[in-house]
Amino acid sequence: MSSVLSPWERRNEYYSNIRLGKDVHNQVRILSERSREAIEVQLETASAIVGGQDKIYDAITDIGYSIDAVAQGMDKLGAAFEWGISNVIWQIEQSREVLVSILAVLQAPLDTQAKERKKRAIDAYSYKWIDEAEEEFLESERLNKFDFSIHISLGMLYLFDKKDEDKALEYFDKAVKYARPKSNYYTSYGLLHKGVIKFQKGLVAEAIECTEESIDLSPDFSEAQYQNAQYNASYGNTDKAIRSLKTAIQLDQNFSIKVCNDTLFDNMRPNVLQLFSEMTTSANLNNKRLICELSELVNELGTVLAPVQKAHDSFKSFSFDKKISEIERFTLSNKYLDSQIASSCLKELKKELHNSATESETCISTEISSIDYSVSKLSSDHTQAIKIASQSNRTLFKMIGGGISIAVGLVSCTALAKSATGRGDYTSLFPFISPFVLIGIIVIGFNISNSLASAACSEKYFDSDEIKDKKSLIDRYRCVRAEISKIKTEKLQSV
C-alpha cells in the first residue's frame, strides 16, 4: 500500500484545528482566520510573484477570506480550499440558504420520520459517531433517494472516515445524478469530488472530464478551474492547464500564490512563470494608465480648489501624491501579485478621490451658506441704515421747506398789506383775508417740500462694498463647486 497520503488525508498545520463539530459559526470563524494564515505561509516561498514581503504585508488587505465568504462554502473559499478539510466545508455548505431552499422543496412531501432520520444522521456525524451516522444516512437515503445532499454526506463519510474510495465514488455519482436537475453548483460540487478520487486512482483523463463538466456548469467556480489546471498539468496538457490556471487566478488572485507551491505544476514551471509575466505586463499597462489619469485629476482638483482655502486644505490632507508614489513602487517590481496589489490600491484611490471631491463640495456649500448668512445680516443692517438716513434727510428737507414756506408767506402777506394800504381799497378787509393767504402759502409750500423730499430722499437699496465683495466670493465658490461636480461626475467616472 502506498505511503503517500491522498489529497483528502493531507492537512497543513494552519488547518490542524479545523474539525467536525456542532458549532458551524465557530468553524466558519476559525476557518476565516486560518485562511489568511494559509495564504501568508504560501507567500513565504512565492518569490516568483512577490517583489518584497515587507511591501506585501503592509499593502495587502484582502489576502484572507471574510467570514461571509467562508460561510458560502467551497465556491467562495477559493484558493484557501484544501481537500483535507472538505468534510468540514460540507458541514458549512449545509447551512447555506441556497441549499436549504432547494432541500425544502425536495423534503416538502416527506413525512416526519424521513426528516428526523436525516437530522439525526447529521447530528451523529458532527459528534463523530461515524457508524451511527452511516446507519441514519442510509435509512435517510431509503426514505428519500432524490435528496442529493444525503449522497454527498455519505460520499464524505466513506471518503474521510471509512476510507472506502469506491463507495465514496458511488455516492458522489448519485449526488451528481440527483443534483443535476436542481442545482448546477451542487452538480459541480459532486463532480469535483468524483474528480479528485479518480485522479488519486490514476484515472487522470476521467478526472479531467469531471472538472471540464463542472466548469461547463459553473464557469465561475474557481476551484473547478484550478483542479482542471492541476490535472491537465499532470497529464501533460500544458496549454489547457495554462488556460484554466489563468481563469482561476482571474477569479481569485490567491491562486497565483497557491500555484507557486503546488508540485503538480513542477513539470511546466517555465510556462507558469511566462503566464505570470504576461498577466503582470497586462495589469501594469492598465495600472500605469490609471496612475497617469488619477494623477492628472488630483492636480486638477487641487488647482480648482485653491481659491477655497478650507476645502483645499482638507483635500491636501488625503495625501494623494504620496499614495500614488507608493502604488508606483508596486508596478516597478514587475511581479504579478505586486501588480494586483497596485490594481486594488488604485481602485481604493479612485474611491477616496471621489469621496474627497464630495467632501470638498460639502465644505464649499457650508462656506457658501456661512457667507450667505453674513450677507443677509449685513444687508439687513445696511437696509436699516439707509432707512434711518432717508428719514432723517426727509425730515430735514421738510423743515427747511416749511421754514421757507412760512417766510415766503409772511413776505407775501406784508407785500399784500402794503399794496392794499397804498391804494386804500381793501383796508377794512385785509385783517380777515391775510391769515388765509398765509396758511394757503404755507400749505402749498409744505406739500411742495414734502414731494421734493420724497423724490430726493427715497429709501432705494444699494449694496455696500463689503456686501459686493462677499457676493462676488459666493459666485466664485459656486463656480468652484460646479467645476468639482463636473470633474467628479464626468472625468472621475470615466477613469
Give 20-48 pLDDT, tens digit per residue: 555 555 655 666 666 666 666 666 666 66
Which residues are CB-neighbours of 126 under 8 A, at least 6 positions away?
20, 21, 22, 91
For residue 2, tell me if it sits in a domain. no
Cell of 169: 465514488
pLDDT at 417: 62
Q: What is the mean pLDDT of residues 60-67?
A: 47
pLDDT above 70: residue 160: yes
From 264, 292, 326, give the residue that closes a domain: 264
The domain boundary, picked from 340, 371, 402, lies at 371
Backbone angles phi, psi at 305, to 5 degrees: -80, -10
Domain membership flag for residue 426 = yes
For residue 269, is it within any domain? no
Judge if 71 and 53 occupy the same domain: yes
pLDDT band at 378; cut points 50, 70, 90: confident
DSSP 5-44: PPGGG---GGGTT----S-HHHHHHHHHHHHHHHHHHHHT
Q: Do the domain assignments include residue 307?
A: yes
Which range (134-138, 216-220, 324-328, 416-420) has the least confidence?
Answer: 416-420
In a domain, 70, yes or no: yes
Kindly state whether residues 285 and 399 are assigned to the same domain: no
270, part of any domain: no
The answer to whether 102 and 89 are in contact (CB under 8 A) is: no
In this prediction, residue 178 has a pLDDT band, given cuts at 50, 70 and 90, of: very high
Percent of the chain at pLDDT > 70 equals 65
38 closest CA partner among 8, 86, 7, 77: 77
Q: Do residues 292 and 220 both lie within one domain?
A: no
pLDDT of residue 144: 87
Cα 309 from Cα 319, distance rounded (Å): 16
Q: Are residues 220 and 141 in the same domain?
A: yes
CB 484 within 8 A of CB 301: yes
Residue 338 forms part of a structural domain: yes
Q: Which three cell numbers stand for residue 471?
A: 457676493
- For 406-415, write each residue's pLDDT tens digit: 777 667 667 6
Do 193 and 290 fall into the same domain?
no
Exposed, middle or buried by CB within 10 Å (0-12, 13-18, 19+), for 85? buried
| pTM (predicted TM-score) | 0.71
> What is the CATH classification number for the domain harbouring 155?
1.25.40.10
Say yes or no: 301 and 259 in one domain: no
Q: Residue 2 has what pLDDT?
A: 41
Contact 126, 136 (CB under 8 A): no
Residues 459, 417, single domain; the answer is: yes
Residue span of the structural domain in which 286 resides: 276-371
Comparing CA positions, the residue from 260, 262, 253 lying closest to residue 231 is 262
Q: How many separate domains does the chain show?
A: 3
Same domain, 253 and 326: no
Whether 163 and 36 map to the same domain: the answer is: yes
| Residues 336 and 382 reside in one and the same domain | no
Q: How large is the average pLDDT for residues 1-10?
A: 48
Query: How many whole angstroms separate alpha carbon 222 and alpha carbon 228?
Result: 10
Choose the weakest-confidence range: 201-210, 231-240, 400-409, 431-440.
431-440
Q: Which residues contact 382 (CB under 8 A, 6 or more apart)?
A: 461, 463, 464, 467
Domain stops at, among 371, 392, 419: 371
Same domain, 16 and 125: yes
Give domain status of residue 395, yes or no: yes
Check whether residue 145 and residue 237 sit in a common domain: yes
